[in-house]
Structure formats: C-alpha cells, structure tokens
Structure 1
Amino acid sequence: MNWDDLRIIAAVRDEGTYAGASARLRIDETTVGRRLSRIERALGLRLFEAADGVRRPTRSCEAVLAHVEAMAAHAAEIGRVGESLAGPVGRLRIASTNTVAEEVLSPRASDFLRANPGLTLQFLTSSENVKFSRWEADLAIRLRKPDKGDFAISRLGDIKLYYFEPVTTEGEPMLCAYPDELGAIPEMQFLRMKQARARCVTDNVRVIRNLIRAHQAAGVLPEHVCADLLGDRRLRATLLPKRRDVWLLVQNHLKRDAATRVTIDWVRACFQETSRS
C-alpha cells in the first residue's frame, strides 16, 4: 500500500467528493479517481458509494480508514520525534577491540546515553579491523596507527602497560605472548627481551589476564584490564617504559555532524578517565 494513496481515502471520506479531495490534497481530480480505483483493485473491495452527489464510505472502507487514521497518527508522531528529544539525534557504530568496549566504553555508556536521549550507540567488537572504505563503522578505536586511509585520524592518548609475573613459582612462569603479526607493539618488544619461549599465544587480553591471575603465568596487560591484579601481593607488576598509543578514526563525512562530535568528546573523556584511574 502506498501511503499517498491511502491518504486519498481519508480525504474523499472527509470532503465527500473527488473534487473536494483534489483541492485538499492539491492533486488532479482524475488522479484521485485513478488512485482510488487502483486501491480497490488491490484490495478487492469497493470503498465508496455515490449517493446524492456525495461519496459515502462503505463498511469495508470504514475498516480500512481505521488503519489509515492510525497510520496518520504515527506519521504525525514521527514528525515530532525531533522536538521531543533533547540534543543531537543519530545512530553511530563504534568499532573497537572487545576489551576497549568492555572495560573503557561500556562502563561509561549508560550515563552518556541517558544524557543524550536522541543517540543510539552500536558497538562492533572484534580483533580484526573494520574496513572504513566500505563504511562498516562510523568511528573506530585502534591501538595501532593506520598507514593511510580516507578518514580523519587523531590520537586519543596512550595506555600504560604492565608486565606481571608471579612472586613465587616452581620453575619459570609460563610466558604469554601475542601473535607474530602483532610483533611491532610495545608489549611484544618488551617480551622479546625476556628471551623465553612463549607457552601461550593469543590476541585475547582476557585469556592472558586469567592465566596471570592463576599465579602461574607471566605477560603484559594494558592498564584498563589489570586494576585488580595491581593489588595482588602474589604478583609482581613492572610498568613498561613504553606506552601503547590509541587512535580514533572518523568517517570524513561525519566530522561536522553534531551527534558524531558529541560522541567523539565522550570517547576522549572515557580514555582520559581510564588514564586517571
């Protein structure tokens, strides 16, 4: 059903003639009759009876009009959505690693969304980078600076890194490392100096954290996932001299969008709070 056609039914009912409906909707009278005939054919119903020069709705038409009026009410409500929501309106897709979404963004998302009722956030979490060229995300948080791309990039800040090892253990602790494709990150540069064979290899930070928490393994963790471990007396924590840079990528066409600007400011605040905590 075409909404413009359905509006004609209500106009003919209210005005009583094709001419009246034509004047009300500002369309040709012939168009009014043609569209009504099309609806009647589609529904297999007769909508109006002519009596004394007036088009009177049939019983079937009254049933149809009940739905049309409900649709008109919903259309009016849609038009008022922007008036009822304070601040910017939009839906933004944010791509990041699982740990950034879980430990940095989501704990602070409730207050942000409550303060901005017109915004919706969609978190896209993966260890793989989204393809900005295909518009798979609106914003992305990356722990490595991209070499190039058709997007705006800015530095969010840096993340402290800690090397954890058990204070006492039988023999050498099991070393946890990241995959070879992450060999350029500060974590791996530090671990290579240990000259020990990695017994666990993963890009999942939570897996490494769980092994370290068992007091049998050693590895490097970012500050936002290891607050509880820093107070564990059975573990020795060493702050690495190098930090991990964090980068924010934004689709170029969204740089001046109000909803995007508010969200960017919130993401920056999330990382600033993480560094202070």
Structure 2
Amino acid sequence: MDWDDLRIFLAVARADSLSGAGRRLGIDASTVGRRVARLEQGLGAKLFLKTPQGYALAPEGERLLPHAEAMELASAGAEEALTGPGDLIGQLRIGAPDGCANYLLPQVCARMAESHPGLEIQIVALPRVFNLSRREADMAVAVSQPQAGRLVVQRLTDYRLHLAGHEDYLRAHPPIRGLADLRGHRMIGYIADMIFDRELDYLAETGADWAQLTSNSVSVQMQAIRAGAGLGIVHDFAIPFCPGVRRILTDRLSLTRSFWLIRHQDDRRSQRMNRLADVLAQGIRAEVARLQAQLSP
C-alpha cells in the first residue's frame, strides 16, 4: 500500500472535503479526488461517503483510519531517527481561543520563528474546542482540561481577569465603588448561547443580569471596552495592548483561570512534537508573566 495515497486519505478524512485536503497538501482538489479513487480501486473498498456536508468516512474508511495514522507516526519517527534532533523544522499548527491567539501567541511564535528559521507556524484562532483527532491542529491551547479522548494534557499557567473600562467611559459615568454600582452601567460580555466553555461564563461574577453588548470573541469585547462602550471582564495580559483601559474593583472581583496544552496521545512518541510542546509551553508561561507584570497592583 502506497504511503503517499494514505497521506491523501488522511487529509480528506480530516478536512471532510477534497478542496480542504488539497489546500493542506498543496495540490488541487481534482488530483486529490483521483488519488482517493485510485486507492479505493486498489483496495476494492469504498472509503468515503459523499454527503451534503462533504466527505464522511465509510465503515471501511473508519477501519483503515487508525492504521493510516500509525503509518503516519512511523513515517515521522523514521525521519527523526535519520535526521537526529537538529533544528525544529516543518509545519506546526496551533489552535487557540482568540484571547490567547491575539494577545499571547504572536509574540511567542515570533520568538520561536526567530530561534528556528525552518519552522512554519500556523495560528488558528477559533472560539470553540479543537478536534485534535481530526488533526484540526497539531496542538491546542484550551481554557479547561478535557475529560475524554486520546489526549496528552499539560497545565500551562494560570492567568488573571478583572473588570475593566476605558478611562473616557469611567470619567463620563457615575463612579463605581462596589459591585452594586454596576447596575447603572452598560456591560459587555459573551453571547450567552455561544459560550463554548463554562470557564468563559464571567457575567454572573459581576452580579449583572445581562450584557447590553456581546460577542463570541474576547478580542471584539476588548475593542468595545476600548471604544468606551461599557465595562467588561478582561484578561490582564490583554490590557497592555489597549491604552486607556484600566482595571476597576480589583479588591472586589478577581478571577483566575488556567491554560492547558492539549496534544494527540500518539504524538508523545515524536521527539519533534515533544520539543515543540516544551518550547511553546515555556513561551506562553513567560509571556503571560511578562504582560501581567506590567500592570500596577
């Protein structure tokens, strides 16, 4: 069985489409389709079912999937064994919630790229949980520890969040001396039915019943606060990027959350992936500490 054909099979299984697989592999969709058809003909089995949503694995494809993944891991291991540890090269796709992706990963990945010129880093910012079994990312940063799946989970660091507003808004509205005073202010937060992780449900901590301006993106929320639209709970590490935004009621309301690094269990056997995980973890810890240290007590 040709490993190159199985590589294409894996790309289609993970992308759910010929075009998506083609983009990942750098070839056109028609070539992907021909290679899949050739593999199916050679095996005498239908590997995919075409659905309105794209290409879904047929039962035969489901049975082939773990064997193809094992060959992928063996191929990567063979390459590592021949080339030795050396420099970190190749592609690394990191999935992260948009707060981490916008305010932490650009600096962390810039330093990684500087230290490892042969590394191609992709940052995928999505307000949802990543599916590593479908290889949507090589590793992902999450805001809570997953409880199921064939995953390696590593605690990265704690980070702090506080209530904040722009100084222009705070000057133009009644003073805020306690949580009860928030009732007369506009609140900014997450769209309630789009909160993908319970750790992001901050609004109840303020005692507010609802938020007047909401978004599924923490970065959009921060820009709304910066524009003077109201008050919201924000990451301390994001405040240095937003001149004029300052924390309030820090002695009354302070939240602590954690970042977790999540990888596919099979990647533990890859020296390269272990090294990349270590570099990324160290970088995120250092960047959170650096940014939070810039805030006055």
TM-score by length of 1: 0.61
Letter in 2 for 1:167: L
Following the alignment from structure 2 to structure 1, what is the Cα–Cα distance between the partners of residues 135 and 196?
28
Summarize the Cα distance change of 1:237–1:228 in structure 2 as closer, same or farther, 3 Å threshold.
Answer: farther
Following the alignment from structure 2 to structure 1, what is the Cα–Cα distance between the partners of residues 135 and 192?
28
Alignment of 1:62-141 (within 5 A): 86-141=86-141
Kept in 2: contact 1:144–1:245 (CA 8 A): yes
Q: Where does residue 161 of structure 1 map in the other structure?
A: 161
1:195 to partner: Cα distance: 2.7
181, 192, 195: which one aligns with 1:180: 192
1:216 to partner: Cα distance: 3.8
Kept in 1: contact 2:132–2:264 (CA 8 A): yes
Following the alignment from structure 1 to structure 2, what is the Cα–Cα distance between the partners of residues 183 and 118?
35
Kept in 2: contact 1:176–1:198 (CA 8 A): yes
Say which one has the larger Rg.
1
SS in 1 for 2:94: strand
Following the alignment from structure 1 to structure 2, what is the Cα–Cα distance between the partners of residues 113 and 214?
33
Following the alignment from structure 1 to structure 2, what is the Cα–Cα distance between the partners of residues 262 and 88?
8
- CA RMSD after TM alignment: 2.9
1:137 to partner: Cα distance: 1.7
Summarize the Cα distance change of 1:159–1:87 in structure 2 as closer, same or farther, 3 Å threshold.
Answer: same
1:186-209 CA distances to partner (integer Å, 9 max, x unpaired)? 563454542343101212112211
Kept in 2: contact 1:176–1:219 (CA 8 A): yes
Following the alignment from structure 1 to structure 2, what is the Cα–Cα distance between the partners of residues 110 and 183?
28
Letter in 2 for 1:211: A
Q: Where does residue 208 of structure 2 map in the other structure?
A: 195
Task: State, as a whole percentage, how many aligned pairs show the same letter.
Answer: 19
Q: Where does residue 145 of structure 1 map in the other structure?
A: 145
1:43-99 CA distances to partner (integer Å, 9 max, x unpaired)? xxxxxxxxxxxxxxxxxxxxxxxxxxxxxxxxxxxx9xx87x942343222111233
SS in 2 for 1:168: helix
Q: Where does residue 42 of structure 2 map in the other structure?
A: none
Kept in 2: contact 1:93–1:122 (CA 8 A): yes
Summarize the Cα distance change of 1:191–1:211 in structure 2 as closer, same or farther, 3 Å threshold.
Answer: farther
Q: Where does residue 295 of structure 2 map in the other structure?
A: none
Letter in 2 for 1:130: F
Kept in 2: contact 1:96–1:123 (CA 8 A): yes
Q: Where does residue 239 of structure 2 map in the other structure?
A: 226
Q: Where does residue 248 of structure 2 map in the other structure?
A: 237
Letter in 2 for 1:248: L
Letter in 2 for 1:237: I
Name stretches of at least 5 consecutive residues in structure 2 with no aligned partner.
1-78, 175-183, 291-297
Following the alignment from structure 1 to structure 2, what is the Cα–Cα distance between the partners of residues 167 and 100?
27
